[in-house]
Amino acid sequence: MKTISKLIKVTLVALLFVVSSCSNDDDGGSSIPNIVELAQSSPNLTSLVAALEKADLVTTLQSGGAYTVLAPDNDAFGRALTTLGFASLDEIDTPEEIAALRNILLNHVISGTIISAQINTGYGSTLATNADGDNLSIYLKSDNNGVSFNGMSEVTAADLPASNGVVHVVDEVILPPTVVTFATADSNFSSLVAALTRSDQPAFADILARTEGANNDGFDPDFTVFAPTDEAFASLIDSNPSWNSLEDIDGALLTSVLLHHVKDEANIRSGDLTDGISPTMLEGSITINLPGDDGNPAKITDGAGNMNIAVIAVDVQAVNGVIHVIAEVMIPAS
């Protein structure tokens, strides 16, 4: 079975889809359109073209590259506009709304040309950013059912060649992800999601899905989440003879444990870490040492004094925080 480190460290360095001038028009130029021209020629991508024009991204996707563009079809744009509270693109007119639209569109653009055969399950980065300017991650999944992104959008037409990249048509607009987006999309976090959503727990999923200003209260979440894998939760359950499943863990204890994995109001990326740093979590504090063992980027001592907890993947960047993946569940002092 593939390990989480292999899945998350997947390299999205696909073979460059070299579009040569194998077909020329009468004037001797290439007949292969650029990304914008390809979208303009498709009756099912008219909303995308209009959105690119409104967000001032036409020039970028005409002359830049190489890019992989995940192109939502017209139906996808219609559903997304409804979700965001707009009747049409024409209603997006303030500078703040246009900036948000631009970031949504950039969340569909990946640097480099990635054809469908080169897509493996794991994480990559888009050109969208959070408030700090960090590029947002995107979770790509490839299996017998096809290719999907962030657990919310599937490819319906793949490998449309452009002179400056490749286009894959998708059936949903991929909104900027929260930390909850990645937790629910990535099957390696199924136990974590089950713990966060257990009926006797606080509304963790709602809290961790919050974005800046979502409730007009000025709250800036910027969560840093140390996310244990399913294997980590299995080891935790095996550590107590009285536990046979996640449901056997006392509710108050589980709450404390989950809070021990989250720091709020700080988007702490791996580059921000220093050896011996001790961030205060929502429950207790932890100590992080650099580097980790066995080639891992870092290791943690939890509040209970358990040492050498491996950080096995870092910087899964959401719009409201960042996830680092750990190989053991951390226990607070309490």
From the candidate CATH numbers 3.40.980.10, 3.40.50.1980, 2.30.180.10, 3.40.50.970, the one assigned to the domain spanning 4-175? 2.30.180.10
4 pLDDT above the threshold of 90 = no
d(CA 21, CA 210): 48
Coil, helix or strand for 71? strand
Q: Would you say the CATH fold of 180-326 matches that of 4-175?
A: yes
300 pLDDT above the threshold of 50 = yes
94 pLDDT above the threshold of 90 = yes
Q: What pLDDT does 221 receive? A: 79
Q: How far is CA 161 from the centre of its chain?
A: 25
Q: What pLDDT does 215 receive? A: 56
Q: What pLDDT does 28 receive? A: 43
| Total-model pTM | 0.89
- Provide the H-helix boundaries in 130-169: none
Closest-CA residue to 120 (of 96, 99, 148): 148
Q: Where are the domains of the chain?
A: 4-175, 180-326
10 pLDDT above the threshold of 50 = no
11 pLDDT above the threshold of 90 = no
- Residue 334 banded pLDDT, cuts 50, 70, 90: confident
- Residue 42 banded pLDDT, cuts 50, 70, 90: very high
d(CA 261, CA 192): 11
Average pLDDT of every residue of the chain: 90
- Rg over CA atoms, the chain: 22
87 pLDDT above the threshold of 80 = yes
User: What percent of the chain has pLDDT above 70?
Assistant: 89
* Strand segments (E) across the chain: 67-72, 109-111, 122-129, 135-143, 146-149, 153-162, 165-170, 223-228, 262-263, 287-289, 298-301, 309-318, 321-326
- Residue 218 banded pLDDT, cuts 50, 70, 90: low
Closest-CA residue to 108 (of 185, 37, 32, 55): 55
- Residue 212 banded pLDDT, cuts 50, 70, 90: confident
Q: Looking at the structure, give the CATH architecture of the domain made up of residues 180-326.
A: Roll (2.30)
21 pLDDT above the threshold of 70 = no
Q: What is the pLDDT of residues 154-184, one digit of tens each?
A: 999 999 999 999 999 999 999 999 999 999 9
Q: What pLDDT does 31 receive? A: 86
